Chains A and B, each alone.
Chain A
Amino acid sequence: MSSPAASPTSEFRHEALLYAGWAGFVAGTVPFIRGGLEAGEPVLVVESAEKIDMLRVALGGDAGDVLFADMAQVGANPARIIPAWHEFVTRNASPGRRMRGIGEPIWRERTSDELVECQRHESLLNVAFGRGEPWWLLCPYDLDNLDPAVIEEARRSHEFVTDGTTDGRSDAFRGLEASGAPFNVPLPEPARIASRLAFGAADLDSVRAEVSREARAARLKASRAAELVIAVNEIATNSVRHGGGRGTLRIWHEQSALVCEIRDKGRFDRALADRERPSNDSAAPRGLWLANHLCDLVQIRTLPDETVVRLRMNHPPTAHLRIVPDLP
C-alpha cells in the first residue's frame, strides 16, 4: 500500500535496480545508459573499477560519451557521494535538459557501520534532489550478494524499483519527508573505551592531545592522525558553540579503526548539513563538511536529548600479539 507521504519527487527519479549476476547487471544498466546517450543526456556512472571496465566493453564506442567515476574513491565515505552528484547535476543543468546517473554505493564488503550510512545516504538523495533538476538516478542492488534486509531497505529509500524488465513505484517508499527525518538508528556500544574526556571551550587543547595520543597508540600515519585531530577539534568546537557549550569525548580502538565520538546537548536537525558545500560567505559553517572529507566515516545521530557524532579513521588491522619479545 502506498503511504500518503509517498508523493512523487517531481522531476528527479530515484530508482533501485535489483539485479542478479553479471548478465543481470549489464541487462539493467546498458540499455539505460544507451537510452540516455540517444536522448542527448549527460550520463555519469559511479561504479567499482571492475564494473566500469565491463561497461566500457559492453558499450563499445559509446563508452567515450559516458562519464565514469570509481565508487571506491567517491563513496568510500558515503557522505561524499551527494556532493559528487550535486556537482554533476549543477554542471550539466540547463533548461529542458535531462540527465542520467548510475550509482552503486552498497556492496557486500561494506562494514555494518558503512552500510547503515549508505542506507541513510540513499534516503538523503530524495531530500537533496527531490523537486529539483530533472534527472534519473539508477542504483543497482546485487541480489546474489546482499542480505534480503538490505533489499527491503532499498524499497523504502527508492520511489521506483526495477528488475531490469519491469519497473514501477515502490509501495514501501518512505516518502520525501520521512527521508530527511532526524536519524536515530542506534549505534553499537564499544566494548572498551580507551579515553574519555568532558570538555568545554578551555579544554579544546586537551581534546586535541587525547586524539593525538590515541592516534599514536593506534599507529595511524602522522598525516592521518593530524587530519583526525583537525576533524575532532571542529566537532568539539561545534559542541562549544552550538551544543550547549560543553561535550563529552570518547575514543576507542577497533580491529581496523580508531573511533572518536563527541556527544553534546545540541540538536542536529538539518539533514543535509554535513554534505552541503559551504557557501562563499566566510561565516558559513564548514566543520562537518570538512570532517566528511578528512575521515573515513562520519556517523551523526539526533537523539531526543543529545547529538552524537562518531568519526572513524581506518587503518590496517592491528596485531595485538607481539610474537618476538622486546630485547632488554
Chain B
Amino acid sequence: MSGGTLFADKQLVVTRTLDPNGMRFSGEIDINNCGVVGTCLKAIAAQEGDVHLDVTGLIFCDISGIRGFVEAAEHREKGRLLLHGLPVLLQTVMKVTGWADLPNLVVCDCKAVLA
C-alpha cells in the first residue's frame, strides 16, 4: 500500500510509504531541491517512533541533501530516522564528512522492502 506522492520534479520523486512508516526518495538531490528533504520530513516530525526512508533509488545526493537528512534526524524528538538502501558511495561521503555516527540517523542494511 502506498501513501501517494509528496513531491515530484524533473530530478526527484518523494512518495509516502506506510508499512513501515516512512518515505521513498528516488532520483537526484542537489542544492536546487535539497529543501524538499526537510519539508517532506517536517510533515511527520511530530510522530513518535522510527521513520524509515527508502533511498535505494537515490542515484545522486550531494552534501546539501545529506545535510537535509541529518537535520531532519536531529529535529526528531522521539524516534530515529533509518536510511534503507543507501548507496555505498553515499555511505562513504557520510563517513568522510563526519556524519556517520549520529544517534538519530541510522544507515540500515536490513534489505527491508518498504511498501
Contacts and interface: CB of A to CB of B under 8 A. Distances in A.
A171 B64 CA distance: 47
A52 interface: no
Interface in B26-79: 28, 30-32, 60, 62-64, 67, 70-71, 74
A230 B99 CA distance: 16
Interface string A275-310: 001101011001101100110000000000000000
Contact of B28 (A202, A205, A240): A205
B97 A286 contact: yes
A72 interface: no
Scoring A208, A229, A237 by chain B CB atoms within 10 A of each residue's CB, the highest score goes to: A237
A278 B100 CA distance: 13
Nearest to B32: A201
Interface in A201-233: 201-202, 204-205, 208, 223, 226-227, 229-230, 233
- Interface SS, A side: helix
30 contacts: A204-B31, A205-B11, A205-B28, A208-B60, A223-B88, A223-B89, A226-B89, A227-B89, A227-B92, A229-B60, A230-B60, A230-B62, A230-B89, A230-B93, A233-B60, A237-B63, A277-B98, A282-B67, A282-B99, A283-B67, A286-B63, A286-B97, A286-B98, A287-B63, A289-B96, A290-B63, A290-B93, A290-B96, A293-B96, A294-B96
Interface of A: 201-202, 204-205, 208, 223, 226-227, 229-230, 233-234, 237, 240-241, 277-278, 280, 282-283, 286-287, 289-290, 293-294
